Structure 1
Amino acid sequence: MMQAEPTIVMDVVLVGGGHTHALVLRQWGMAPMPGVRLTLLTDLVDTPYSGMLPSYVAGRYSFDEAHIDLRPLTRFAQCRLVVDRAVGLDLAQQRVLCANHPPLAYDVLSIDTGSTPATLSVPGAAEYAIAAKPVPALLRQWQQLVENVAANPQKPVSLAVVGGGIGGVELAIGIHERLVNLLDTLGQPAANLALHLFHRGEELAPERNRWTRRRLERVLRDRGIHLHLSEAVKEICLDEGSGQRVVRGSSGLAVKCDRVFWVTSASAPAWLQESGLSLTDEGFIQIGDTLQTLSHSNVFAAGDVATMARHPRPKAGVFAVRQGPPLAHNLRCFVQGQPLKPFRPQHQFLSLIETGNGKAIADRGPVAIESPLAHRWKDHIDRKFMARFRDLPVGGMAQAAVKTPAVPPSLPCAGCGSKVGSTALAEALRRVRQDFPEVDSEAVLIGLNAPDDAAVVTVPPGQVMVQTVDYFTALIDDPFTFAQICLKHCLGDLYAMGAQPHTVLALVQVPYATPAKQAEMLYQILAGTFKGLLAANAPLVGGHTVVGPQLALGFACNGVASPNALLRKGGMQPGDALILTQPLGTGTLFAADMQGKAKGRWIEDAIAHMLTPNQAAAHIFRTHGATACTDVTGFGLAGHLLEMVRASGVAAALTLDALPVLPGAIETLKVGLFSSLHPQNLQAADFVDHTWSDHPIYPLLFDPQTAGGLLAAVPNAAANSCLADLHRQGYKTAAVVGRVTPAADTAHALVLDLEEG
């Protein structure tokens, strides 16, 4: 008998991917708890490390060096990753409300979402200033600014930083250093840059000692940064003539700037006000010594979003880092019903402040010193901290010597005993019908609204039924998103044949879990399914559910079409243009993801394409007279194109450099990360010209695609207008990737080239 997987009996949900939660994930991965499912809800897969941010702006660190990639970290921790933003809590039902997902159920909750700058009280700040948080938005604006300066180095640029705390001072120094160095490289004087810093106080960095405050003022003045002390910003408006921002101070000072960076004191996320948690007067979550909220013992909080009731401290990254180990320990103890340990932060802490040009100030209490040694010390500390999240143990995770939450003693049954119980299924259907509108179809005589032994549907007169089925295990652990990906994949065959979806049946396997957990997982899956079916305008009429060792999903999709309007794989004519709607690379990327070797932003970009429906593309191809069409899935581009070539009695010429490619796919292929299906797909290589087999894109011809795009042959005269329509409809990477040629005289049905010839 196969050993059953641990039954899921408890959900621990982490909201926010801050420094504290990153440390919790690493520790959890070293000692996972059977029966406890860990979930991270975050709107960022690359979380910036605050300690490196000023140096990253200055150009001293790369993006990867200054960011924690949460995807491989969550995989190491055996943690579900849900990429979305929390917008509220339902404490009574123990659910986290999300911006774009259905609510996430929890038994234990921890919040580490960070803080946001307070901008709303100043007129124009929200519209015309760039807030320091969220950091990704700041960095996107910063990158655009750097590119603009590089493209127009002769043009003077004026910038402002609002906020004279450590964060504002370090950001100003980083901005100045990067742009002055850039201008120097381009042969332009530093005088082309004017940088202003506004601060309401009389001295910079009021939280540090007197020597540090005076030294920072001297550093900024020596750099030529214009300091406006005791100058509170009262308004930011737009100058209609120049398009610049006008920063107006309390003294009447008005400064025109191209960009304004807002780095003021921290404020709490607005959604907390309605959360029902215990909050401080400033809106931060109040927590006790064990990091539990004062109002709800099963809700924890850490980092800038929280304030310790008995030990309030400044909003500084050092405290978030120090809270990591005690939070991980107390979450584990709470799950096991064991006593929690109190945490008391230190009163004084070492602050290492970058002053540029290879120097930093080391400040603790009344003592401070500036030297290159302090800079090297900070660099060593920061790199060592970040290495903890890149250099994860491989295959040697420690087994936790911990008590596991109670698990039902009997092994799950096979056969009909493996079905999901009627109570769990009914609860999931009830909730999803309440939260998501069903597609109403007159074709359904008997379906989910009045369940019977089978669904009964009608077929429109004069049309034929087109049927397809597909089923596979989950490649991501977010069931809501996975359901949409799987549905798109399964519907692809219908769209490729020119059919419209008619009805759908679902085949679902949920992991072993208690009935309540099964109902929750089914709800997430059905919610994703209903969302995808709304776009397809087809109803779900039934299905089958079982429990098993992992999440798996499939759909039997039925479509209708006019028999005279079907698109087939055969039908291509010499001279037709081959158009591909979606970039390649999901096979190698998810193979890398399984090994924790894919960057999170690569996977998120792939998922975005995998969620893009093929429906509009299919309509555009029909409108432009496509002669043949297929969806590019498991056999890879070469395999599916060979099917079209053979069915049409023609050959094809592919332009390798024209193939759209997902970010990261070339990198993962170079290091030998292939899908397990790739070797079988390579059997098609016997019919492919080997001239360019050493080209880095060549292996992508055999890369299996999940939820791939459509490949169609379109008359050459219609190719440009077809491609333009695809781009306008949102298929931005769609491209003409080759041409149909007369039947080959050799065994090479596919000829490759680098340029269209």
Structure 2
Amino acid sequence: MNDGLPLVKDLVLVGGGHTHALVLRKWGMKALAGVRVTLINPGPTAAYSGMLPGYVAGHYGRDDLDIDLVRLARFAGARLIDGAVTAIDPAARLITVPGRPPVAYDVLSLDVGITSEMPALPGFADHGVPAKPLGNFAGRWTAFREAATAPHVAVIGGGVAGAELAMAMACSLKTRGLAPVLQLIDRGQIVDSLGPNAQRRMREALLANGVTLIEAAEVTEVTADSVILADGRRIRSDFTTGAAGARPHDWQAGIGVALHDGFVAVDRHLQSSNPAIFAVGDCAHMTHAPRPKAGVYAVRQAPVLFDNLRAVLSGGQLRAYVPQRDYLKLISLGGKAALAERFGTALAGPMLWRWKDRIDRKFMRQFDDLTFMGQPDLPLTRAEGLVEAVGDKPMCGGCGAKVGRGALRAALADLPPAGRDDVVMVPGDDAGLLQMGAVRQVVSTDHLRALTADPVVMTRIAVNHALGDIWAMGAAPQAATVNLILPKLSADLQTRTLREIMETADDCLRAAGAAIVGGHTSVGSELTIGFTVTGLCDQAPITLRGARPGDALILTKPLGSGVIMAAEMAGQARGDTVFGALAAMCRSQARASEILCEAHAMTDVTGFGLAGHLSGITDASGTGARLTLAEIPVMSGAVDLAAAGVHSTLLRDNIAGSGPVTGPMGPMTDLLYDPQTAGGLLAAVAEADAAGLIQQLQDAGYAEAAIIGLVTAEPGITLI
């Protein structure tokens, strides 16, 4: 996004709310040179509040409701950190996200919304479902709706949000042919924030949907199957949700800025009492023009926040946000009808729902209409073969950016033997073997072009990827040197990035039993992380050569990271699909290596794909293999992407470099050639032991470990 210019400032956006989503979209079209943008959000999506009642009622699917933050971050050139902020230190300008080193910032913006958790209400934390955050509520509601048989539902909080939810729930459950009992409970009067005309129409709609109104009632406790009121009434409830007012997140009290009832107080520039911290949306209180919590204000704050973030980062002039005095309220009434209210005038009917639907869908389409980076335009006069060398897509990261197996084998074929008694060279094996008396040490090196902009996640992946060679030979990790290429950064950003990488690398390597003993850093065009690692064998190392006909083939991780990350670069992969792939790549293979320590042959499945690495075993062992396609585990979304023609830039090289493969062709077969980053272990084990080993692997957390085929006496790989 910065055309090769150094990055000198860190802008961090905490929360994927409506304002930040729109700011990221604008940033993707007009980035400020020299700024590294980071979005911190718990999860790959952010739910759009305007469509939540329609989703609960069953009018929309989950994809309609969610803004895909992974696609949006890629479009904006931002790094996305998966996590929930728990503290901010304004003096050190550090943000605490559990499970990772602190995130530094120069300028910070908060758009974390509100919560409807009720910590003071006994039993609610254990048995209640807060209506906000929206994403968590949506998932819990879907699970309840699908399992309910005779549902009793209670909604605590009779404001507009609670009334909308109650009617939407009633509509959804009736659509399933159920007869729900819905109770809407409020300590005051239901929907009393509306004008008299709108309030009357809302109450009529609630009753028409079969919602019982319980007013002037104080809730004193929530249990697993009921809501208990102060007057002793016990209201049965299988699903209790809270929509009672707006409550700020507890950690906002520790930021050290001026607050109003716990919300961050901001001025007309959306700036807090600390000039480096902005706040927008429901988590903020506009001191110059107080307004109720409503999404319309968050949406209209976006262009002002965008301009002011650019201004404070570049020394420009800030502009003021002037909110309108009133706004049009479009309220869902359960079925496909809505109520519109403004300036005390209220109307209701199906036409208004269609109007609301058009407005909501138009808002969400902005996040679908994103253009992603393609290949650069080539000059009219160019060398023959340049078009083919460039290819049809940008080069992938991770193992998708590696040299193909065929080219690598050809380059290494004529190298002479090591010529040393203490160096054992096994062509094609995962790591080199050093024999020093009774000590057997294996050594390997791996370097990855970043496939995610988050250096912490990328470091975890790179550590697991490098140690895969050690684990594949049955060795215990011993030591590592770190080799880094950083993009062009200012000295401050270099320090911040190095701290994130090194603290993460140290944690991961220590957990594996290894120590960092040195390293090297340099500056280049993009982030590359690599490790040279050693391990110790207390028994003969497991090599590629020992597979025997009849052995079962075990794979410990699913396939698909190459195609998924290629799709992510092009904005074609769902955010949850990408997060699932990253989580798989971050999963250590240490325990799997211990479980498979008696394997006859073993390798890790990485850049050459399953077919290429299996060919390595069969070539070295003088055998073949038969794979059952239906038994091979794949990552969620990978087959659909392969069927759509998405592939990694290394796919063609992997097909050419693998041994002969016969059998049915199709997207599942394509995934056999998909380059994997930090992939699973592929082991040939005695058939009699295979079922027991799978059980051990699954008990150890490798839920998708599977027997995928067997070793044959006939050469080549056969698919069935």
Q: Same fold (TM over 0.5)?
A: yes
How far is 1:506 from its partner?
A: 0.7
Cross-structure match for 1:419: none
Aligned residue runs from structure 1 range 56-455, under 5 A:
56-149=55-148, 155-183=149-177, 190-191=178-179, 193-202=180-189, 204-238=190-224, 245-280=225-260, 282-293=261-272, 295-394=273-372
How far is 1:195 from its partner?
A: 1.6
Cross-structure match for 2:708: 737
**How many residues get paired?**
661
Cross-structure match for 1:418: none
- 8 Å CA contact 2:227–2:237 kept in 1: the answer is yes
One-letter amino acid matched to 1:367: T
Q: SS where residue 563 of structure 2 aligns?
A: helix
- 8 Å CA contact 2:170–2:334 kept in 1: the answer is no
Cross-structure match for 2:423: none
- 8 Å CA contact 1:17–1:44 kept in 2: the answer is no
Equivalent-residue separation in structure 1 for 2:46 and 2:321 (angstroms): 25
Cross-structure match for 1:750: 717
Equivalent-residue separation in structure 1 for 2:373 and 2:486 (angstroms): 26
Cross-structure match for 2:487: 511
- 8 Å CA contact 1:286–1:307 kept in 2: the answer is yes
| 1:633 alignment partner, one of 606, 618, 633 | 606
Q: SS where residue 223 of structure 2 aligns?
A: strand
How far is 1:216 from its partner?
A: 1.4
Equivalent-residue separation in structure 1 for 2:496 and 2:335 (angstroms): 55
Unaligned runs of 5+ in 2: 375-433
Q: SS where residue 37 of structure 2 aligns?
A: strand
Cross-structure match for 1:47: 46
Cross-structure match for 1:447: none
Equivalent-residue separation in structure 1 for 2:372 and 2:519 (angstroms): 39
Q: Deviations over 1:656-701 (max 9, x none)?
A: 0111111111122122211110000111566001x3113x311000
- 8 Å CA contact 2:57–2:335 kept in 1: the answer is no
- 8 Å CA contact 1:117–1:266 kept in 2: the answer is yes
Equivalent-residue separation in structure 2 for 1:395 and 1:237 (angstroms): 52
Cross-structure match for 2:664: 692
Q: Deviations over 1:66-92 (max 9, x none)?
A: 100011111111111111111111111
| 2:446 alignment partner, one of 457, 470, 476 | 470
Q: Deviations over 1:29-51 (max 9, x none)?
A: 11111111111111121100000
| 1:557 alignment partner, one of 507, 524, 533 | 533
Cross-structure match for 1:586: 561
Cross-structure match for 1:453: none
Against the structure 1 CA distance between its residues 393 and 642, is the aligned structure 2 distance closer, same or farther, given a 3 Å change threshold?
A: closer
- 8 Å CA contact 1:247–1:257 kept in 2: the answer is yes
Equivalent-residue separation in structure 1 for 2:19 and 2:475 (angstroms): 50
How far is 1:147 from its partner?
A: 2.3
Cross-structure match for 1:611: 586
Equivalent-residue separation in structure 1 for 2:290 and 2:435 (angstroms): 68
Equivalent-residue separation in structure 2 for 1:4 and 1:339 (angstroms): 25
Cross-structure match for 1:19: 18
- 8 Å CA contact 2:4–2:525 kept in 1: the answer is yes
Find out whether 1:571 has 2:546 as its counterpart.
Answer: yes
Q: Deviations over 1:530-571 (max 9, x none)?
A: 121121111000010001111111100111113x42111111
Q: Which runs of 4+ in 1 moved over 2 A?
A: 134-137, 393-396, 458-461
Equivalent-residue separation in structure 1 for 2:233 and 2:44 (angstroms): 41
Equivalent-residue separation in structure 2 for 1:379 and 1:578 (angstroms): 52
Structure 1 stretch displaced more, 132-141 or 162-171: 132-141
How far is 1:140 from its partner?
A: 2.2
- 8 Å CA contact 2:87–2:97 kept in 1: the answer is yes
Cross-structure match for 1:436: none
Cross-structure match for 1:599: 574
Equivalent-residue separation in structure 2 for 1:377 and 1:527 (angstroms): 52
Equivalent-residue separation in structure 2 for 1:675 and 1:222 (angstroms): 55
How far is 1:163 from its partner?
A: 1.1
How far is 1:507 from its partner?
A: 0.5
- 8 Å CA contact 1:20–1:320 kept in 2: the answer is yes
How far is 1:156 from its partner?
A: 1.9
Cross-structure match for 2:458: 482
Against the structure 1 CA distance between its residues 390 and 4, is the aligned structure 2 distance closer, same or farther, given a 3 Å change threshold?
A: closer
Q: Deviations over 1:418-449 (max 9, x none)?
A: xxxxxxxxxxxxxxxxxxxxxxxxxxxxxxxx
Equivalent-residue separation in structure 1 for 2:222 and 2:358 (angstroms): 39
How far is 1:467 from its partner?
A: 0.6
Equivalent-residue separation in structure 1 for 2:117 and 2:580 (angstroms): 31
Cross-structure match for 2:518: 542
Q: SS where residue 64 of structure 1 aligns?
A: helix
How far is 1:139 from its partner?
A: 2.0
One-letter amino acid matched to 1:515: A
Equivalent-residue separation in structure 1 for 2:659 and 2:614 (angstroms): 14
- 8 Å CA contact 1:4–1:549 kept in 2: the answer is no
Unaligned runs of 5+ in 1: 150-154, 184-189, 239-244, 397-457
- 8 Å CA contact 1:482–1:528 kept in 2: the answer is no
- 8 Å CA contact 1:487–1:529 kept in 2: the answer is yes
Equivalent-residue separation in structure 1 for 2:545 and 2:243 (angstroms): 61
The two structures, once aligned, show a CA RMSD in angstroms of 1.7
Structure 1 stretch displaced more, 564-573 or 709-718: 564-573
One-letter amino acid matched to 1:589: I
Equivalent-residue separation in structure 2 for 1:119 and 1:177 (angstroms): 26
One-letter amino acid matched to 2:596: F
Q: SS where residue 390 of structure 1 aligns?
A: coil
- 8 Å CA contact 2:170–2:210 kept in 1: the answer is no
Q: TM-score, normalised by structure 1?
A: 0.85
Equivalent-residue separation in structure 1 for 2:38 and 2:658 (angstroms): 42
Cross-structure match for 2:430: none
- 8 Å CA contact 2:53–2:334 kept in 1: the answer is no
How far is 1:223 from its partner?
A: 2.0
- 8 Å CA contact 1:84–1:101 kept in 2: the answer is no
- 8 Å CA contact 1:118–1:265 kept in 2: the answer is no
How far is 1:365 from its partner?
A: 2.0
Equivalent-residue separation in structure 2 for 1:258 and 1:580 (angstroms): 42
Structure 1 stretch displaced more, 19-28 or 648-657: 648-657
Cross-structure match for 2:471: 495
Equivalent-residue separation in structure 1 for 2:238 and 2:653 (angstroms): 56
How far is 1:99 from its partner?
A: 1.6
- 8 Å CA contact 2:209–2:334 kept in 1: the answer is no
- 8 Å CA contact 2:615–2:658 kept in 1: the answer is no
How far is 1:394 from its partner?
A: 4.4
